[in-house]
Amino acid sequence: MPNISNKGMNMPESPIRKLVPFAESAKKNNIEVLHLNIGQPDIKPPNEVLKKIKNFDISTIEYTHSAGIESYRKGIANYYNNIGINVSYEDIIVTTGGSEALIFSLNSILDPGDEIIIPEPFYANYNGFAILSSVKVNPIISKIENRFKLPSSKEFEKLINPKTKAILICNPNNPTGYLYSQEEIHELAKIVKKHDIFLIVDEVYREFIYDENNHYSVLNELEIIENVIVIDSISKRYSMCGARIGCITSRNKNLIQTCLKFAQARLSPPTFGQLAAMEALKTKDIYFNNVIGEYEKRRDLLVSELNKIDGVYCPKPSGAFYCIAELPIDNADKFCQWILENYSINNKTIMMAPASGFYTKENMGKKQVRIAYVLNTEKIKLAISILKGGIKEYKRIQLKGSGIN
Ligand SMILES: Cc1ncc(COP(=O)(O)O)c(C=O)c1O
């Protein structure tokens, strides 16, 4: 049999999905699984978008321009202009989700063996995209005891070497929910300017900001406009994950031209998705106010209830719809599997993502889980009681020494 490539062999499985067989087997045993493990929102897309999809009036399903439908790109530019960011449609390439925007960006700025610095824990697929692009991730630790704030400039400087071509952050962050402040973005801008490297900021959760906070986009850093690449997507913004539409936004003309070559090789982003996305751009503020209000309610409930459980610590996130909690257990990978296989209340159990999958350094995040608050408050209450009971039972069994492997 011919061999599989090293790249293929080294491609990591998604840590978010590695417990799926255990969830499936729970479901076969008539246990309902509350999914706190994935970022698939239960929120409805805007009604107008659903209406548009039902009434698509097209006779052919053609490729679009490789950079995306021009009027849609103009619509995205207008969206940015409305939030005070001055970009033109020529600074935008429409992609098949934020995922493809990341792949094109990495391949446009890094050669095999080059390095990218990413604060960890980080969105696990960054690892997969790095392997796909043959580049090395140089992680820098952000700590739960500091609420996952940006590591100091000194720490970043220690990692920068001639192979370092970029820093990548996600703001607000998946998996931590941390919102980087204007000051933190300024600090990064200084480093990037000093070393003349790229700063990729994944802003796919830009709309989901809570309390009195505001999102500060790196596109406002006018001194480094040639260094900045923003990754964007409609997946979470309008709850349209399956439309598969994202974009790259950068005022670096060379970067855009290079990304366009990758875009031409894959011909076109999805035509249907773009048509739906064009409609989504008309979404009124009231939709976002409702959605953000709902997520904020869920976050408040989840975080306060988590912190009431003996030994649990969960910093309150300011954005996105994830949090990381440290649990009073020995190993979150083991615990998340155990709870799916062994613990339920009224035939309901929970699935969480062990946080180890969001770190590259060994033994980091061993006791942490990522919880996505993509379920309504009733389900979150239920999930918390299952978690609380599960921790108690898991510890009792361990104390008894009956052995959980
Ligand atoms: C941080 C982050 N970036 C990018 C993506 C990619 O999303 P999509 O390809 O659906 O736009 C996701 C999806 O969950 C994400 O969480």
pLDDT digits (tens, 9 = 90+) for 258-315: 999 999 999 999 999 999 999 999 999 999 999 999 999 999 999 999 999 999 999 9
Q: Which of 14, 37, 99 for mutating ligand 1's site (highest number of atoms within 8 Å of CB)?
A: 99
Q: Report which DSSP code applies to 317.
A: P
Q: Which residue has the tokens 């000194």?
A: 154
Number of C-beta neighbours around residue 52 at 10 A:
18
Supply the pTM of this predicted model: 0.96
pLDDT of residue 49: 96
What separation in Å is there between the alpha carbon of 204 and the centre of ligand 1?
7
Q: Report which DSSP code applies to 224.
A: G
pLDDT of residue 40: 83
DSSP H or E stretch at residue 138: strand 136-141
The C-alpha atoms of residue 323 and residue 352 are separated, in whole angstroms, by 11
pLDDT of residue 401: 76
Q: Using a 6 Å cutoff on CB, does residue 87 contact ligand 1?
A: no
Strand ranges in 37-120 using DSSP code E only, listed in sequence order: 92-95, 115-120
Residues in the chain: 405
The C-alpha atoms of residue 170 and residue 165 are separated, in whole angstroms, by 17
Q: Using a 6 Å cutoff on CB, does residue 128 contact ligand 1?
A: no
Q: Do residues 16 and 37 make contact, with C-beta atoms less than 8 angstroms apart?
A: yes
Name, in order, each residue with C-beta under 8 angstroms of 269's C-beta and a sequence gap of 6 or more: 64, 68, 94, 95, 96, 100, 244, 245, 263
What separation in Å is there between the alpha carbon of 241 and the centre of ligand 1?
9
Q: Using a 6 Å cutoff on CB, does residue 204 contact ligand 1?
A: yes
Q: Using a 6 Å cutoff on CB, does residue 203 contact ligand 1?
A: no
Atom of ligand 1 nearest to the CA of 99: 9
pLDDT of residue 400: 83
Q: Which residue stretches of the chain have pLDDT < 70? A: 402-405
Q: Which of 14, 126, 180, 204 for mutating ligand 1's site (highest number of atoms within 8 Å of CB)?
A: 204
Q: Using a 6 Å cutoff on CB, does residue 202 contact ligand 1?
A: yes
Q: Using a 6 Å cutoff on CB, does residue 292 contact ligand 1?
A: no
DSSP helix/strand/coil, 377 = helix
The C-alpha atoms of residue 353 and residue 16 are separated, in whole angstroms, by 5
Q: Provide the percentage of residues in the chain whose pLDDT is more than 90.
A: 92
Q: Using a 6 Å cutoff on CB, does residue 241 contact ligand 1?
A: yes
pLDDT of residue 286: 95
Beta-bridge partners for 371: 323
The C-alpha atoms of residue 230 and residue 200 are separated, in whole angstroms, by 6
The C-alpha atoms of residue 349 and residue 206 are separated, in whole angstroms, by 31
The C-alpha atoms of residue 242 and residue 244 are separated, in whole angstroms, by 5
Q: Do residues 111 and 133 make contact, with C-beta atoms less than 8 angstroms apart?
A: no
Q: How many helices (H) and strands (E) does the chain have?
A: 13, 12
Q: Using a 6 Å cutoff on CB, does residue 99 contact ligand 1?
A: yes
In 3D space, the residue among 401, 382, 391 whose CA is nearest the CA of residue 342 turns out to be: 391
Q: Using a 6 Å cutoff on CB, does residue 170 contact ligand 1?
A: yes
Cα 46 to chain centroid distance, Å, stands at 21
DSSP helix/strand/coil, 139 = strand
Q: Exposure string (b/e) for 272-294, b if CB count within 10 Å is 16 or more?
A: ebbbbbbbbbebeeebeeebeeb
Q: What is the CA radius of gyration of the chain?
A: 22
Atom of ligand 1 nearest to the CA of 233: 11
Q: At 353, phi and psi to the nearest 5? A: -100, 115
The C-alpha atoms of residue 394 and residue 340 are separated, in whole angstroms, by 12
Strand ranges in 223-270 using DSSP code E only, listed in sequence order: 228-233, 246-249
Q: Which of 40, 233, 321 for mutating ligand 1's site (highest number of atoms within 8 Å of CB)?
A: 233
Atom of ligand 1 nearest to the CA of 174: 1
DSSP state string for 160-179: --TTEEEEEEESS-TTT---
Q: Do residues 102 and 128 make contact, with C-beta atoms less than 8 angstroms apart?
A: no
Residue ID of nearest Cα to ligand 1 atom 14: 39
What separation in Å is there between the alpha carbon of 231 and the centre of ligand 1?
9
Alpha helices in 179-237 (DSSP H): 182-195
Query: Per the structure block, which two tokens stand in for 263?
Result: 């875009």
What separation in Å is there between the alpha carbon of 282 and the centre of ligand 1?
22
Q: Which residue has the tokens 């970009």?
A: 87
pLDDT of residue 403: 59
The C-alpha atoms of residue 278 and residue 70 are separated, in whole angstroms, by 11
pLDDT of residue 402: 61
